[in-house]
Structure 1
Amino acid sequence: MFKLFRPVLYVCGILACVMAGLLLIPALYSWWVNDNELEAFFLASACVAVCGILMLAPGYTAPFSLNARQLYLLTSLSWLQLSFYSALPLVLVDHPLSFSDAVFEAVSGITTTGSTVLSQLNTLPPSILLWRSMLQWIGGFGVIGMAVSILPFLRVGGMRLFQTESSDWSDKSLPQFHDMARGLMAVYLGMTTLCALAYWLAGMNGFDAINHAMTTVSTGGYATDDSSMGRFNYGILWISTVFMLLGGMPFTLFIRFLTTRRLDMLKDQQVTAFLTIVLFLVAILTLQQVLAGNSDVLGVLTHTAFNIVSVITTTGFASQDYTQWGMFAVAMFFFVTFMGGCSGSTSGGMKIFRFQLSWLFLRDQMNKLVHPRGMFTVRYNGKAVSDDIMGSAVAFSFLFFLVLTFTTLALALTGLDFVTAFTGAATALANVGPGLGDMIGPAGNFAAVPESGKWILCFAMILGRLELLTVMVLLTPVFWKG
């Protein structure tokens, strides 16, 4: 058993030391603005560094390679440990959160969900607001890195559809895996910088621009004020809409375009479907609002596009309380909650490609009913879809709704009403942020959820962020018997 855990703990130790270094950034900012939180962040950094050193102490000198079982462990344990490390400063600050609230806020941040238990954000120390935004930015990069490197190997993620396994990069886009990682970081950092600059030029102050850029590109949704993005002008809302859309697309496509300088590298069946769905939903809801009597067409279009994109990319920003737009809008936002963006992006949800595969699978079955002896091949992006990819998509969809059912029941046992329990479970598994209802809707937060409910939601957020199967396989006897 130690042989199984030793290399995993070694990598976790490295990640802990990196996190300890990152905690020094808000510590330095706290010292710069003198908001009295320097000690909390410095102490948290020291504690995390000690944990990292203890995990590194046994060492690991053998050629470094991890098998599938170790990758499953590493993926789950790394996100779990980073969630607890991230919660430390929130417990140690001058106005500390309870342990449950701190873990909930940290898990929501690192998984880029965006649900929060905090209110009166504009009165919080700036270093805490910066740390929340950094958590989502770190989590967003971790998501795309995991999507294109680990999950394809584990036959979980959808990136295997798009030929972005590490073996494929050697002769198609970039020569080595390290180049791919550097490419991802360059695109992610560059996009964040452009977003911050655009926000600043459109009227945000520097602090808000940096924080909102990190939480926009990561499709996380943490804001620096309780009104979220509702306090900003239309220009800022459109900038946010564009960068949320970019954050919801496969980052590997951007790398391929920058590498080859060919526009055809941006062509992708998943992206086409994603943008088509967004345009259709925005048009339908805008038309419905105008026909309902709202004469401010530009305002309706702006808020509709912003909030639709925010929910479908699982960002969770809000410019208005869209639950007040009528039951048609509420129903639409509810179903959009499950969709998510593209595989290989920072967004959560079930991902567009799984809906596409389900449709292709359904069409294939219909063809076979009409022509029982016919030979049909399901093709995606011009390539035949293998049975294991199709099986993985079906397994994920079944598991998603099974876990949604049990999570809803568990939340209902804590005393929450059905709407809050159901939409809370859905928004946690899909990593969206706001649910529906007065308590956890876009105008509320999760502070009133019972402590037991917050722990259930934490588990659901991690499950959703890691594509369910990555964590669930650890709970099976066959994994530990191998």
Structure 2
Amino acid sequence: MEYRTLFRIIGLLVILFSTTMLPPALIAVLYKDGEGIAFVQAFVISLTLGLLFWYPNRRAKAELRNREGFLVVVLFWTVLGSIGALPLMLSSEPNLGVTDAMFESFSALTTTGATVITGLDDLPKAILFYRHLLQWLGGMGIIVLAVAVLPMLGIGGMQLYRCETPGPVKDNKMTPRIAETAKALWYIYLTMTIACALAYYLAGMNSFDAIGHAFSTIAIGGFSSYDASMGHFDSPVINLICVVFLLLSAINFSLHFTAFSRRGINLSTYWRDAEVRMFLILQLALVVLVFLILMSNQIYDSPEAALDKALFQAVSISTTAGFATESFVAWPLFLPILLIFSSFVGGCAGSTGGGIKVVRITLLTMQGLRELKRLIHPRAMFSIRLNNKAVGDRVIDAVWGFFAAYSLVFVLIMVALLATGMDDITAFSATAASLNNLGPGLGDVASHYGDINSTAKWILVLGMLFGRLEIFTLLVLFTPAFWKN
């Protein structure tokens, strides 16, 4: 293990991340909210830590192997989440302790969107902007950004990229060079963010809210500047804009690149993709089901209001954003549980959404159907095809392995939460919300996580990391074989 090279890379990445403290400091000056000093102090501390990691190892430039790539990603997310908590601990508002600040920071960076803070309407603008910014950076993964920048400093990026990007197939690159791939992803990400912010602004948000909520929307994070979340604006137009950009952000970003390439715009690219078709069908079915149940129970005065609420809440929860226009927990029958279960599917691979991913659910379903056919025709040969291509058994095995690991981690986290004294509904939904990077849950965590015990918060932080790094990236570090030479 090339530890000196690892320290050098971590140092460079921390130095890069320290610059994220500066925009909130500027916001504090512009809005005169008095929290600028906290961000300046956090910048100095994080920059110093980065230099301490980097400078003694600045000449160590060994080539990264897969093992080092996994370790760098896990270490960086852990260090980044810890450093990201500094401004929240140093500021006078919200004046969080270590546990709550770490929870809030990791929740933002992993785009989980669970919060321990109440009274968001009265928080300093700098803190609100910082929470949005952390989600935006975590959405695409700051590692991918770093891969686009750090090759200039002598750091190869393929190992980092493969460990960071979500999905079962991680070797597909949109461009020949990995740095160019990362840049292409970020150009798409930035363009969508700007378009979303403009749409929010034209729909009636002020510039601060438009930018902040665009950050959280494109990252599929769910943080808002208000306790009422999107319900604060009480605008069907804003709700619809949010839905559109959540759906776009939950689609594989490589498809956006293909559809809007230099050869022209080709929207048929989306429908030709089997995963996107399945994703849109599932979204439509969920919205229709929620709408019909709300109408049959006469929850709202008009079909238009019911459709607005059903569309927004179904898409928000199923894409793992976690925005709300009202408390879906109060909805009738099985709707709250249904929406929580929809987050297990999540978005498409290669998107900013969480969950197991649509392509994995699709492949698992196809494999189940194939096994049923084999029972009827034991000697027949059946292949699984996706986008008119045969899917190799190695990929199917990897998907089953992921599902098994996901199930195991889910059970362990839920049992651990129950052991802290949490009730079963709260424990189940909190586990789902952390592993799927969803945010809101049921029971005691329906509105916020501030009232649960500290031990449970640390367990959920671990769950957020497992979910953001897609289980295996973190789980592999717990195997003895990983540490053997």
| Cross-structure match for 2:220 | 219
1:79 is aligned to 2:87: no
| Cross-structure match for 1:432 | 438
User: CA 1:467–1:129 in structure 2 vs 1: closer, same or farther (change >3 Å)?
Assistant: same
Find 2:172's aligned residue among 145, 161, 165: 165
User: CA 1:149–1:289 in structure 2 vs 1: closer, same or farther (change >3 Å)?
Assistant: farther
- Secondary structure, counterpart of 1:203 in structure 2: coil
| Cross-structure match for 2:99 | 100
CA-based RMSD of the aligned residues comes to 2.0
Find 1:415's aligned residue among 410, 421, 425: 421
- Give the whole-Å Cα distance in 2 for the aligned partners of 1:99 and 1:149: 34
Alpha-carbon distance, 1:61 to partner: 4.4
| Cross-structure match for 1:24 | 22
- Give the whole-Å Cα distance in 2 for the aligned partners of 1:379 and 1:152: 26
Find 1:253's aligned residue among 238, 252, 255: 255
Alpha-carbon distance, 1:155 to partner: 11
- Give the whole-Å Cα distance in 2 for the aligned partners of 1:121 and 1:214: 17
| Cross-structure match for 2:410 | 404
Alpha-carbon distance, 1:15 to partner: 1.2
Contact 2:340/2:432, CA 8 A, preserved across alignment: no
| Cross-structure match for 2:314 | 308
User: CA 1:373–1:156 in structure 2 vs 1: closer, same or farther (change >3 Å)?
Assistant: farther
- Secondary structure, counterpart of 1:432 in structure 2: coil
- Give the whole-Å Cα distance in 2 for the aligned partners of 1:282 and 1:302: 10
Contact 1:152/1:159, CA 8 A, preserved across alignment: no
Contact 2:144/2:161, CA 8 A, preserved across alignment: no
How many corresponding residue pairs? 469
Find 1:299's aligned residue among 295, 300, 305: 305
Contact 1:424/1:440, CA 8 A, preserved across alignment: yes
User: CA 1:151–1:275 in structure 2 vs 1: closer, same or farther (change >3 Å)?
Assistant: farther
User: CA 1:50–1:469 in structure 2 vs 1: closer, same or farther (change >3 Å)?
Assistant: same
- Give the whole-Å Cα distance in 2 for the aligned partners of 1:355 and 1:409: 25
Q: Could you list the per-position Cα deviations for residues 106-160 of structure 1 after superposition, in whole angstroms to 9, with x for gaps in the alignment? A: 0000000000000010111000000000000000020794999658846995352
- Give the whole-Å Cα distance in 2 for the aligned partners of 1:452 and 1:329: 30
User: CA 1:200–1:152 in structure 2 vs 1: closer, same or farther (change >3 Å)?
Assistant: closer
Q: Could you list the per-position Cα deviations for residues 74-133 of structure 1 after superposition, in whole angstroms to 9, with x for gaps in the alignment? A: 111111111001000000001320000000000000000000000010111000000000
1:281 is aligned to 2:290: no
Q: Normalising by the residue count of structure 2, what TM-score does the alignment of the two structures yield?
A: 0.93
Alpha-carbon distance, 1:314 to partner: 0.6
- Give the whole-Å Cα distance in 2 for the aligned partners of 1:175 and 1:388: 24
- Give the whole-Å Cα distance in 2 for the aligned partners of 1:88 and 1:320: 32
- Give the whole-Å Cα distance in 1 for the aligned partners of 2:312 and 2:166: 28
The range that moved more, 308-317 or 104-113, is: 308-317
Residue 325 of structure 1 aligns to which amino acid in structure 2?
Answer: W
User: CA 1:287–1:151 in structure 2 vs 1: closer, same or farther (change >3 Å)?
Assistant: farther
- Give the whole-Å Cα distance in 2 for the aligned partners of 1:155 and 1:133: 21
1:265 is aligned to 2:269: yes
Alpha-carbon distance, 1:375 to partner: 1.6
| Cross-structure match for 1:343 | 349
- Give the whole-Å Cα distance in 1 for the aligned partners of 2:473 and 2:160: 8
Alpha-carbon distance, 1:384 to partner: 1.5
| Cross-structure match for 2:483 | 480
- Give the whole-Å Cα distance in 2 for the aligned partners of 1:226 and 1:155: 31
Identity score, percent: 37
Contact 2:22/2:43, CA 8 A, preserved across alignment: yes
- Secondary structure, counterpart of 2:4 in structure 1: helix
- Give the whole-Å Cα distance in 2 for the aligned partners of 1:13 and 1:195: 33
Q: Could you list the per-position Cα deviations for residues 342-363 of structure 1 after superposition, in whole angstroms to 9, with x for gaps in the alignment? A: 0100011111111101111111
Q: Could you list the per-position Cα deviations for residues 144-190 of structure 1 after superposition, in whole angstroms to 9, with x for gaps in the alignment? A: 949996588469953528xx623xx4xxxx34222211211111111
User: CA 1:246–1:270 in structure 2 vs 1: closer, same or farther (change >3 Å)?
Assistant: same
User: CA 1:62–1:382 in structure 2 vs 1: closer, same or farther (change >3 Å)?
Assistant: farther
| Cross-structure match for 2:151 | none
- Give the whole-Å Cα distance in 2 for the aligned partners of 1:104 and 1:397: 26
- Give the whole-Å Cα distance in 2 for the aligned partners of 1:155 and 1:182: 15
- Give the whole-Å Cα distance in 1 for the aligned partners of 2:348 and 2:86: 32
* Unpaired runs of at least 5, structure 2: 148-156
The range that moved more, 286-295 or 218-227, is: 286-295
